[in-house]
Amino acid sequence: MNPVLLVTGGSRGIGAATALLAARRGFAVAVNYSVNAPAAEAVVAMIRAGGGTAIPVQADVADEPQVMAMFQHIDNTLGRLSALVNNAGVVDQPARLDQMDGPRIRRMFDTNVMGSLLCAREAVLRMSTRHGGPGGAIVNVSSVAARLGGPGEFVDYAASKGAIDSFTVGLAREVATEGIRVNAVRPGIIDTDIHASGGRPDRARDMAPMVPMQRAGSADEVAHNIVWLLSPEASYTTGAILDVAGGR
């Protein structure tokens, strides 16, 4: 039976690339989306066309009842979860902190932080040997913004990803004896459409000269690191935060 993976925010960008690669590596994949059902269904169709197993699952990860319903649906459809990629996240228009209102900051933390914690909680309840599970792996998608701070643009986003880094280390140590490995990747400038949702569709191209490797990365390059961290090849790796940022 194929191991079961949930990829949150799996309908586009890094999430979609991860879902597609993981399916090729033998995972049955639940592709989570919040509002864009056609995009999620397109990823599922590609996986099935390649002979893999996948389902779309709708949930706003910031909403606890929706998260719980999503995990129950995966239990009933694909079986016990083996792996989780906390990829769902939001960004907003560039702004200084003194220009940000409360709803923007709250949305950032509700999705990027609360969503990851809620999904990880449900995953631990299914994977942990403490709860009768067989173990598993969690990969959180952070950002190099956690190191750089996002001044003048995205300090709220950067702060939310700093929380993910702390959460990764803490949870890894909390469940280390329960068969669960918890790691994170910190992408740098990656050429995905998240930049358009932040009002800067050309940001990856414009920022490329600031990267030591002089180019933006691709979603596939991040996905390969995520799937490696999920795999038995990373069996002695937990609490790690892996920069995938071209040296930035």
Please list the active-site residues: 157
Q: Which two tokens stand for residue 103?
A: 């709803």
Token pair 């996002």: residue: 150
Helices in the chain by DSSP H: which ranges? Answer: 13-24, 37-49, 64-77, 102-109, 115-127, 145-148, 155-174, 194-197, 203-207, 219-230
Go through 22-41 and write b for each residue having 16 or more CB atoms within 10 A of its CB, e for each that does not: bbeeebbbbbbbbeeeebbb
Rg, the chain, Cα only: 17
C-alpha span between 195 and 191 (Å, rounded): 8
The secondary structure of the chain in percent helix, strand, coil, rounded to multiples of 5, reads: 50, 15, 35
Q: Are 87 and 9 in contact (CB under 8 A)?
A: yes
Report which of 45, 58, 52 is spatially closest to residue 28, judged by C-alpha positions. Answer: 52
Report which of 27, 132, 40, 25 is spatially closest to residue 82, judged by C-alpha positions. Answer: 27
Tell me the three state secondary structure of residue 149: coil
Tell me the three state secondary structure of residue 62: coil
